[in-house]
Amino acid sequence: MAALRYTMGRPAPVAISKLHGFLAAAGLTLLVYGWATMPLPKIAATATALLLLAAIGGLTTSQAWRWKQAPSVEVLLFAHMSLAAMGYLLLVAASMAAT
């Protein structure tokens, strides 16, 4: 979505944004459910915490765009992407270590 924003010069289409949010929320819900019902390795728990922070950052980014607070949007977008990428990579590492 950031690539769409920076190549087209405008935010991604609303449908793509909503689909991204819905799929991310569904995956995060399943991950938090797993965290609550069974013990996770520390690396997976850390990944879950990072993804929760990324979700908060994504919601904040969405609202900042809606409220037209342009200067804060870039910082929030970078934080959201960074946290999500770190959480995802830690989750992949945890799943590789578990097998």
- Summarised one tens digit per residue, pLDDT across range 46-79 is 999 999 999 998 888 888 767 766 666 778 888 9
Q: Scanning the structure block, which residue is given the tokens 């950052």? A: 57
Q: pLDDT value at position 64? A: 74
Domain count, the chain: 1
Question: Token digits for 91?
Answer: 């989750």
Domain that holds residue 67: 2-98
Compute the half-sphere exposure of residue 18: CA atoms within 13 Å on the CB side of its CA: 3
Q: pLDDT value at position 72? A: 66
